[in-house]
Structures are given as C-alpha cells and as structure tokens.
C-alpha cells in the first residue's frame, strides 16, 4: 500500500478563468449521472509519470461512467498536441509551463496577440522594455502545500528572450508565450487558453508540479521551510548539484545569489543520480551508540540504541525535478517563496467536443486532489516495479475519487 500525503486538496476551488471556461470546483462531490455512451480517448507518453497520470485520469473517467479508449503512447508533448488536433485523441495530460512554451512555436500567430488582464497591484512588471527579464521574480510555493488558486507570483522570464510589456492601464501583453516564467499556475492557464485554438480546451491546473527544487536533509533544515529561510543560513550550508547548477541561472548558484542575495558555504559537484545520496546516505551507513537506561525502580536495566549524527557530503541538494524519486520522504523540499523558478503544474488538455460538463467536472476534481508529493511517491513505486495502473488505483481510492 502506498503512503500518500494527508494534505489532499480535494475541496479546494480553482479560479474561474474567463479565457478558458474552466469550471469552478466545488467542495462537495455532486452525484454524477452516468453519461450516455460517451467514449473518451486518452493518450500519453512512455514516461513513468505520464503513464501514471494517464491512468489516474482514465480510471477516474471510468469510475464516473465513461468508456475510455487508450491510444499507443506518443513521443512527446508535440505528439500529444498533434493527436488532439487531428481528433485521434481527446485527452492528453501535460504541464502548464511546458505547454505555454510549446505554444509559442506551435501557435505563433495566436501567441503574439495573447493578452491577459492583470491587476496593477500584482508583481507583473509594467514596462515596455524588450531587454531580457530579471530572473529574480518570485515563484509560488511548492504546489503540494499551497493551492494553485492562491498563487500570485510576478511574471519574469529566463535570461534569453523574454519580452514583457504593458500599457498604463491594467492590460499586460506577453508577446512571447512561455517566457513569463514565474507567473501563477492560473495566469499561465489563462494565457494558454487565449492561445489554444477553439477546438481545444484546458482543464484546471493541478498543484502537482514538475520543476527544479532544492531539498535539504532533516538535520540541516530545522526551522527552515522556505528558500528565503535557507538564504539566511546559506553561508553555513553546503549544497550538492550538477555542474549545470554551478553556473546556472535562474536555477543555479548564479541565479540563487541574484534572487536571494546569498551564497552557500560550499558547492559539492556530483552527478544527478548522486545528489540525494550526498545529502542523505543510506541508513546502514550510519553508526549507533548503545545507551543504558537505569531510571526504572526495578533492578532491571534497559538499553536503547541512538543513532549518531550522519556525516554527509552536503546539507542540501539541487534537484532538476520535484518529481525526482530519489527525494526521500524525510527530506524537506523548500518552498520557493520568491517565485524563483518557472511554475509547471500538471494540467489536462482536451478536445472541446469531449470537454462536456461531466467530463470537465471529473478531470478537474482529479487535478484539484493531486499533489507533487503524491505524484513523486507514485513514481517511486513504479520505479520499484509497481504497475502504473495499480498505484493510480490506490491513489484514487485514497483520494475518494473512485466513482460510484
């Protein structure tokens, strides 16, 4: 049995996006009448995470009374998008940041005219400059801890070709979709909805995200939950990462210093598959000390075994993906409270004809319940040999989304 986090947000409401037509989520799960012979065709890629996500949405639809057909996996996002456009599939689960970036190339005409209304009180820069955007803009907290509808991060781009402009009113034009990196999941979804052709429809974005993160071992993270907290003690912490992180920006030592005005005590270069091991060695590598306990009133003496502090090569690690299965449940994944890295939440993309009220209700309930922690744990189970359909079914049951 899989142990999932208890913080499911099944009742959390998502923001109604005018450009998307995303239905508002309700705290109660209404009775769903069985649809009349509607078949939804699902397609995904061959990756473990895509298989899991496809199975979750598929089984949820089947539980709601739909017939579901499964297509052979496609190679990537481009293949899934093409299958939907061709009418060969109805549902493809992808990610907001990746989709927004892809659409800049796939739908250039629509992307160049995409606009969205943003209140002047937000952190979206009101500027007409075409210079590369500053990477210091904040990002939302880790999605499994804060609902996406609460995200209010500012929009910035990477160090390449971001162009963000705005007039003196409340209209902000993002001329190159996908370069507005640290905007909230809902704003990303709104921009996507404006670019998508009328034949496609976006569901509610999920709190489950795939993006670079910093995680620390338990003994180094006491009192630390935010990246801003880490910045205050960074000069006392060692961080492990790949050579790419050493020079990277925004996600890298350069970007961290620029955003948080802090520098780590030491950078420990390791390969991607050794990051977790460098900050949290296997349990059998630690030593123990036996301590006698003679506090009882009897003449018996009991002994307890205490683990000595584990020596590690580093205190924290820079992981390229929050879904990296080597991130253990005892590590603390720090919340990105300054919107440092681009949001990239799980989101269902569907054909407009298949996106009926009951279908949208079903897929959006799944999106609202899913968390990064849960998805990472499911990937860990699949990597260990479990079938994606098995872990998907277990998660749906625990989330209360198994249907009637």
Each residue's pLDDT tens digit, 22-49 = 443 444 555 555 445 589 999 999 999 9
Using DSSP bridges, classify how beta strands 213-216 and 332-333 pair: parallel, antiparallel or unpaired.
Answer: antiparallel
Predicted pLDDT at 113: 73
pLDDT in tens, 308-354: 567 899 999 999 999 999 999 999 999 999 999 999 999 999 999 99
What's the whole-number mean pLDDT along residues 215-238?
97
Q: Which of 2, 77, 86 is nearest to 46 (CA)?
A: 77
pLDDT band at 119 (very low <50, low <70, confident <90, very high): very low
H/E element, 206: none
Least confident of 159-168, 298-307, 381-390: 159-168
H/E element, 166: strand 164-166
Please classify residue 63 by burial: count the beta carbons closer than 10 Å to its beta carbon, then call 0-12 exposed, 13-18 middle and 19+ buried.
middle
Please classify residue 277 by burial: count the beta carbons closer than 10 Å to its beta carbon, then call 0-12 exposed, 13-18 middle and 19+ buried.
middle
Least confident of 1-10, 222-231, 243-252, 279-288: 1-10
pLDDT band at 114 (very low <50, low <70, confident <90, very high): low
How far is it, in rounded angstroms, from Cα 84 to Cα 236? 50
What's the whole-number mean pLDDT along residues 222-244?
97
How does DSSP classify residue 345? B
Using DSSP bridges, classify how beta strands 91-95 and 238-241 pair: parallel, antiparallel or unpaired.
Answer: unpaired
Position 217 pLDDT exceeds 50: yes
How far is it, in rounded angstroms, from Cα 45 to Cα 354? 20
**% of the chain surpassing 90 pLDDT:** 61
Position 391 pLDDT exceeds 50: yes
pLDDT in tens, 353-366: 999 999 999 999 99
What's the whole-number mean pLDDT along residues 126-134?
39
Predicted pLDDT at 33: 52
Position 17 pLDDT exceeds 80: no
Using DSSP bridges, classify how beta strands 266-269 and 238-241 pair: parallel, antiparallel or unpaired.
Answer: parallel
């Amino acid at each position: 049995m899989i142990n999932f986090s208890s913080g499911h947000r099944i009742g959390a409401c998502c923001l109604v996006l005018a450009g998307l037509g995303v239905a508002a989520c309700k705290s109660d799960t209404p009775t769903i009448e069985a649809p009349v012979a509607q078949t939804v065709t699902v397609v995904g890629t061959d990756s473990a995470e895509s298989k899991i996500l496809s199975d979750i949405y598929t089984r949820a639809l089947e539980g709601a009374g739909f017939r579901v057909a499964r297509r052979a996996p496609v190679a990537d996002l481009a293949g899934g998008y093409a299958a939907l456009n061709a009418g060969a599939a109805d549902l493809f689960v992808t990610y907001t940041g990746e989709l927004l970036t892809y659409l800049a190339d796939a739908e250039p005409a629509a992307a160049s005219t995409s606009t969205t209304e943003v209140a002047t009180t937000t952190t979206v820069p009101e500027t007409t400059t075409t210079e590369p955007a500053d990477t210091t803009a904040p990002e939302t907290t880790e999605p499994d801890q804060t609902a996406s509808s609460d995200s209010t991060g500012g929009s910035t781009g990477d160090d390449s070709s971001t162009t963000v402009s705005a007039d003196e009113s409340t209209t902000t034009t993002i001329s190159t979709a996908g370069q507005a990196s640290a905007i909230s999941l809902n704003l990303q979804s709104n921009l996507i909805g404006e670019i998508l052709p009328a034949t496609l429809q976006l569901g509610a974005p999920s709190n489950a995200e795939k993006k670079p993160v910093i995680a620390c071992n338990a003994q180094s993270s006491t009192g630390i939950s935010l990246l801003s907290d880490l910045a205050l003690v960074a000069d006392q912490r060692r961080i492990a990462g790949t050579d790419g992180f050493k020079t990277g920006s925004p996600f890298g030592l350069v970007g961290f210093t620029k955003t948080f005005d802090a520098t780590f005590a030491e950078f420990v270069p390791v390969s991607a598959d050794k990051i977790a091991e460098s900050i949290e060695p296997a349990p059998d590598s630690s030593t123990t000390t036996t301590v006698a306990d003679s506090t009882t009133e009897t003449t018996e003496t009991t002994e307890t075994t205490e683990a000595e502090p584990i020596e590690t090569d580093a205190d924290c690690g820079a992981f390229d993906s929050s879904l990296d299965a080597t991130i253990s449940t005892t590590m603390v994944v720090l919340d990105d409270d300054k919107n440092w890295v681009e949001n990239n939440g799980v989101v269902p993309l569907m054909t407009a004809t298949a996106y009926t009220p009951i279908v949208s209700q079903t897929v959006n309930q799944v999106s609202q319940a899913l968390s990064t922690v849960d998805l990472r744990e499911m990937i860990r189970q699949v990597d260990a040999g479990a079938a994606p359909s098995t872990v998907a079914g277990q998660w749906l049951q625990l989330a209360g989304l198994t249907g009637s």
